[in-house]
Amino acid sequence: MRADNSSAQAAFAHASNYLERRPLVANRRPLAWITEHVCRIVEQPAPRWWWILTIFFGAMASLTPVMLTYLVSTGVGVWGLNVPVCWAWDITNFVFWIGIGHAGTLISAILFLTRQNWRTSINRSAEAMTIFAVICAGIFPAFHVGRVWMAWFLAPVPNANAIWQNFRSPLLWDVFAVSTYFTVSLIFWYLGLIPDLASLRDRAKTRFRQMAYGLLAMGWRGSNRHWTHYEKAYLILAGISTPLVLSVHSVVSFDFATSIVPGWHTTIFPPYFVAGAIFGGFAMVLTLLIPFREIYGLHDLVTDKHIDNMCKIILLTGSLVGYAYAMEFFIAWYSGNPFEIYAFTNRAFGPYWWAYWAMITCNVAAPQLFWFKYCRQNPWVVLAIVMFPNTGMWYERFVIIVTSIHRDFLPSSWGYFSPTWVDITLFIGTIGLFVFLFLLFVRFLPMINMFEVKNITPEADPHTPDSHSEHNSAISYPTSTKVHA
C-alpha cells in the first residue's frame, strides 16, 4: 500500500515537473545559502587560476595604452585606414564594443519592466559587462579624431576658435548618447550594488574590508523606509534606461544612416543595429557567465533555465538580424538605384566576400542550432555556439563600414583596406582590458545580485501559503542542517 502511494506520488511529481514553472533558484536554497555562496567568491583568498588569468589579461590590456602611445606619438597613419576607407577597424571596434554593452542594459532594464524574474541572477554581471564594454568602446572614437588632445572640442565649452559644436551632426549626437549611456549605466549598476555591498560590509572580517565596503554601501541598513524610495528609484532608472538603450545604438547607426553613402543610407539601420547589439551582447553574457558558473558552482542561481532563455533570445535576435540582411538586399534591388545595387552585390561577391559570408555563417546560420533543445541545454555546446555571434558581430560592423566605402563612386578612388599590426594589437589590447576588468569585478564585487535573487525565492513572497509557519517544517531544505552544501 505504502509502495503504491509513493509510486503515485512519484508519478504526480513527474507530471508536475512538466506543468509547473521551473524555480529560478534551484533546489529551494534558503536566503543564507544565497548570501554565503555569492559573498564567498569575494571573501575567500584569490584562487591561483584567478592570478594567472588576471596577470595574463592585465598584460594583454597593457597593449592598449602601449599602442595608443605609439599611435599618438607617431601619428594616426600607423592605422591601416586611408582614403577611401577612412573608417575601418577603429569604428568597427567602437560599434562592436558598444553593441556588447546593450545586453546588460536590456537585462537590467527591459527585463525588469517586463517582470522577467529570471534576470535577477544575471543582471549584475551583465551590467558590469556593459560598463566595461563601453569603456573599451570609448577609446576608439576618442583616438580616431586624430589629434586626441583636441578631443575636448567635442564638449560644448568655449574654445579659442569661438565656434561651437555642430549640433546637427550625428557624430555629436553620438558623444552625448554614449556618454549618457555610460553614466546612466554606471548609476544603475551602483544603485543595484548598494544593498549587496552592505552584505559584504556586514560579513567583513577585517577592518579594511569593513571600511571599504562600508563606504561604498553608504550606510545601507535595509530599512523599509529606504526600500520604498529605493524601489521607486530603481523602477525609474529602469524606465529611462529602456528608451536610452534603444536610442544609443540607434544614434550609433545614425552615424551611417544619415550619410548618403550607398550601403549606409538606409532607414532599417536603427532597429537592425539594436537587434544586432542585443544578439551580440547576449552572446557575450553567456561567454562570460558559463565559465564562472562552472568555476564557482553557481548552478542553483544561474540555472539551465537561464541559459536556455538567453539562447532563445539569441535565436530570436539572430533571426531578426538575418531578416535585416535580407531586407537590405531587397531594398537595394527594389530602389532601382545602380549604386545601391552595386554596393550590396559588391558586399557579398566583391573583394570582401569572405567577411560577408563569415558574418552570415556566424550570425544567421550558427544561432539556428538553438532550435534544438540539446544545444540549449548543454552549457559547453552553448559556449561553443555563442563564439560564432561574438565573432560574427564584429564581422557585421566590419562589413557594413569597410565594404560600403572601399569602392567610391569613381573607380579611380577604389581601394582595399588591410589592417596594420597596430590595428590588430590595439583591438587585442581592448579584449584584454575587457576581460581584465571583468576578472577584477568578479573578485571584488558580488557578481550575483543577492537581494534581488532573494526577493524571487518562494520564502520571500509573504503571500504564498508555504511561506508561513509550516515553511521550515514541511519543506526540507537540502541545507537545513546548517551545512553550506
Looking at 50, 70, 176, 353, which residue binds another protein (CB under 8 A)? 176
User: Binding of another protein at residue 229 (CB under 8 A)?
Assistant: yes
Determine which residue in the list 24, 25, 28, 35 makes contact with another protein, applying CB under 8 A.
35
By CB under 8 A, residue 226 contacts another protein: yes
Looking at the Cβ atoms of 22 and 468, the one nearer to another protein is: 468
Stretch that binds another protein, among 7-15, 99-107, 163-171, 289-297 (CB under 8 A): 163-171
Please spell the DSSP secondary structure of 97-164, one letter per residue.
HHHHHHHHHIIIIIHHHTT-GGGGGTHHHHHHHHHHHHHHHHHHHHHHTS-GGGGGGGSSS--TT-PP
Q: How many CB atoms lie within 10 A of CB 470?
A: 10
CB of 167 to another protein, least distance (A): 5
User: Which range of residues in 25-33, 80-88, 388-396, 437-445 is near another protein by CB under 8 A?
Assistant: 25-33
Cα separation, 314 vs 366, whole angstroms: 10
> Is 5 near another protein (CB under 8 A)?
no
At 56, the amino acid letter reads: F
Cell of 406: 572601399
Binders of another protein among 401-460, rule CB under 8 A? Answer: 450-452, 454-455, 459-460
Residues 254-283 that bind another protein (CB under 8 A): 254
Residues 53 to 72 in contact with another protein, rule: CB under 8 A: none
C-alpha atoms less than 13 angstroms from C-alpha of 73 in its C-beta half-sphere: 7
240 binds another protein (CB under 8 A): yes
Residues 227, 339, 342, 353: which binds another protein (CB under 8 A)?
A: 227
- Full DSSP string of 404-450: HHSB-SSGGGB------HHHHHHHHHHHHHHHHHHHHHHHHS-SS-H
Binding of another protein by 48 (CB under 8 A): no
Nine cell digits for residue 52: 594567472
When asked if residue 297 is in the footprint of another protein (CB under 8 A), the reply is no
Q: Taking the complex as a whole, how short is the minimal distance between the CB of residue 342 and another protein, in angstroms? A: 26
Answer for which of 69, 74, 159, 183 binds another protein (CB under 8 A) is: 183
Q: What is the dihedral of CA 22, 25, 30, 34, to 10 degrees?
A: 180
State the number of binding residues for another protein (CB under 8 A): 80
Burial letters for 311-349: b for 16+ Cβ neighbours within 10 Å, e otherwise? bebbbbbbbbbbebbeebeeebeeeeeeebbbbbebbbe
Question: Which residue among 162, 260, 410, 474 contacts another protein (CB under 8 A)?
Answer: 162
What residues between 333 and 362 interact with another protein by CB under 8 A? none
Nearer to another protein, 55 or 235 (CB): 235
> CB 135 → another protein: shortest distance, Å?
18
Exactly one of 50, 53, 84, 165 binds another protein (CB under 8 A); that residue is 165
**Residue span binding another protein (CB under 8 A) among the ranges 72-80, 84-92, 336-344, 476-484:** 476-484
- Residue 281: its H or E element: helix 269-296
Q: How far apart are CA 152 and CA 174, in angstroms?
A: 14
Query: What is the DSSP secondary structure assignment for residue 361, as one 8-state letter?
Result: I
Tell me if 265 sits within 8 A of 259, measured CB to CB: yes
Contact between 224 and another protein by CB under 8 A: the answer reads yes
- Reported as half-sphere exposure (CB side, CA atoms, 13 A), residue 173 has a value of 15
Q: Which of residues 81, 111, 237, 447 is near another protein by CB under 8 A?
A: 237
Contact between 470 and another protein per CB under 8 A:
no
Question: To the nearest whole angstrom, how small is the minimum distance from the Cβ of residue 43 to another protein?
Answer: 12
Residue 44 found at the interface with another protein (CB under 8 A):
no
Nearest distance, CB of residue 307 and another protein, angstroms: 24
CA atoms of 283 and 388, how far apart (whole Å): 9
Q: According to the binding rule CB under 8 A, does residue 482 interact with another protein? A: yes
Distance from C-alpha of 60 to C-alpha of 337, rounded to nearest angstrom:
46
